[in-house]
Structure 1
Amino acid sequence: MCAADERNFRSAYYEKVGCKNVEERKSLEILLKEKILDRVKLKQFCLRYSLPTVYRSFVWKICLGVLPVNTSCHAFISDQRKQEFNEMMRALTIMKQVDFNTQKSKQLYAGYLLQTDALKFDNNLNASRGFNEIVQFLLPFYKDDVELFWVAKGFFLNIHSFDHDFPKLIETIISFLEKEESGLFKHLKIIDALDNFPFDYYFDTFFANTLNYPALSKIWDKLCGGSCNIFVFVFISLLIHLKHFILKCKCLKEVLEILNKVNEDNAEVIFNKAIDMWQQGSHFTIHDKPKS
């Protein structure tokens, strides 16, 4: 039996007994046992599979560059990150930019601004809101403020590294709806919603507030792996799943209210459908291939 056949046989067996992801988990554990981790392979794993919960926060830190690939340096780098964070918060306190009453997400955003531009604070509302909601989404994953800050910063920079692709993503969404969901497309055009969707908001937050459920972490795996196209399929899946309700809406405001009332069960269905569509439609385009 050749290796591919053997793997297919094992995969079919595991799936029958309810252990569908056994092989994938073993593959990830092998990668994580290396003294020098392969960031490219870890990103490729994120693109192809969903990370096991027990490894997710650690793999995210590696893929985002919060921790280096050399595992022997992790303790040292973590200590350096902690010292830098403490000095940053001390400076912000002296500058009276934050105090003990400042909301945690706002403290961390102030820290981000201090690191990126120490001479002036950016009051851009969208950027502030985006960073804050990323922090809120990551809170269950990282109880330590130091880790929380560096991972939030990593995701924020990662999301905005795709800014130049954003117009193309919007065009893809509109084109898909026009060709595949003509009824929904026409309705959204009639109520003047399609041209006025707050795409920037959804992109800046990557649905952190709109779809803030555990299943969303599976979508963020793809983002962490280097995919920006996943955004297209999440948004399309969201619209299609809620189509019955959206077709009754008379204006954009009503549509947005529908989009913001997704319960946990529906969110799981939307996320799984989005991943299926992405895997079938993206074929790991240039934007979805992790860079070395």
Structure 2
Amino acid sequence: MADERNFRSSYYEKVGFRSVEERKSLEILLKDRPFDKAKLKQFCLRFTVPTLYRNFLWKILLGVVPTFAESHDFIMIQRKAEFEDLQKALQIAKIVNENTKPHEVFLTMWLLRTRRVKIDLNAQLDAPLLRLSHKFLILYLATSKLAESLCHVVDTDHEDKLVDTYWLLRGFLDQVQKFYKEVVRLQECTYNILEREDPDLYKHLTKIEALFNLPFHIWFYSCFAGTISNGSIPKIWDKIVVGAYKILVFVAVVTLITLKRVLLRCEHLDNILDAINNISEETSEVIVNKAIELWQQSGSTLVSMPQSIQAVAQVNQS
């Protein structure tokens, strides 16, 4: 019976029935005045946000706009004014110009706002990583990858797309800063779950000294931007915007398991990274869907990160 329900749910989702029901549910929630953030967060945890409403919902949940709809126009006018002020200041100082890539502009705007930007931006970005502060390195990696992906993910033809993208990026970086100190625990949890889910793959990656040298920090800080395709990654980010950071562990685990046949033939870390860095759009979709399923099966979607990690670790050790 369980298999029949799973098949039926999968079939309904493929033909679009489930997405229609989810969209109707979200539309009902968006009729609340003011918006109920708690209910909207629950929706994001349980379902994939319909593309039509994703930008709007993310802006509410990331604090770009308030829960009072009547204030949105005014707030976005202020957001746009601050965006333009930051951009103009950087242009006057000749730190950025019309040839600077958008994600580099966003990074520099963030640095300016946090009083870290230097006049010679290229020297700042090209400096050896060991000379960069740990916090700046996190910021640079996350911003570069998140900004580049967000430019493609933000689905709007509105003239203020760059403004929306910048402020959404700011929100994502705020979320990353909330959990970056827990990345070591996330990494340990990834090892434990991989060993439980696929002992053979775990042993192989350990044997060739690849598992503990994988770029988990980069994956987690960037929320897998640049690794998972832009067409699939928003499903994961729907969970990140509400603080469900533990899902990143399951994305990492499922990525490795999905590529198992290729990885078992690899004998060096470079080969492993080549395989992971060339994930197709189709494979990305498979990884994302399986990761969400495994994450939901873990039964700790509403638990704060440190507690959820400890819970999984305890299960694996028992």
**By the TM > 0.5 criterion, same fold?**
yes
Residue 271 of structure 2 is aligned with which of 254, 260, 263? 254
Residue 286 of structure 2 is aligned with which of 269, 275, 285? 269
For 1:115-264, list aligned pairs within 5 A: 115-117=113-115, 123=125, 124-140=136-152, 141=154, 144-264=161-281
Residue 104 of structure 1 is aligned with which of 92, 102, 105? 102
Q: RCO (CA 8 Å, sep 6+): is it higher in 1 or 2?
A: 1
- State how far apart, in whole Å, the 1-side matches of 2:287 and 2:117 are: 43
Give the corresponding residue for 1:35. 33
Contact 1:46 1:225 in 2 (8 A): yes
- State how far apart, in whole Å, the 2-side matches of 1:37 and 1:281 are: 29
- State how far apart, in whole Å, the 1-side matches of 2:25 and 2:304 are: 24
Partner deviation per Cα, 1:24-69 (whole Å, 9 max, x = no partner): 2222101111231111211111111000110011101111001111
Q: Which amino acid aligns with 1:26?
A: K
- State how far apart, in whole Å, the 1-side matches of 2:32 and 2:194 are: 45
Question: Considering only aligned residues, what root-mean-square deviation do their CA atoms show, in Å?
Answer: 2.2
Query: 1:178 offset after TM fit, Å?
Result: 2.0
Contact 1:172 1:232 in 2 (8 A): yes
Query: 1:186 offset after TM fit, Å?
Result: 1.0
Partner deviation per Cα, 1:9-31 (whole Å, 9 max, x = no partner): xx98x949751233322221011
Query: 1:225 offset after TM fit, Å?
Result: 2.1
Deviates more, 1:233-242 or 1:173-182: 173-182
Give the corresponding residue for 2:83. 85
- State how far apart, in whole Å, the 1-side matches of 2:16 and 2:86 are: 48
1:21 maps onto 2:19 in alignment = yes
Give the corresponding residue for 1:47. 45
Contact 1:229 1:282 in 2 (8 A): no
Q: TM-score, normalised by structure 2?
A: 0.82
Partner deviation per Cα, 1:103-158 (whole Å, 9 max, x = no partner): 11111110011112267587544522320211111113155211111001111221
Contact 1:137 1:209 in 2 (8 A): yes
Q: Which amino acid aligns with 2:38?
A: V
Deviates more, 1:238-247 or 1:140-149: 140-149
**Aligned residues, how many?**
278
1:278 maps onto 2:295 in alignment = yes
> Gaps spanning 5+ residues in structure 1: where?
1-7
Partner deviation per Cα, 1:229-267 (whole Å, 9 max, x = no partner): 100110111000000100111111110110011111111
Q: TM-score, normalised by structure 1?
A: 0.89
Contact 2:258 2:287 in 1 (8 A): yes
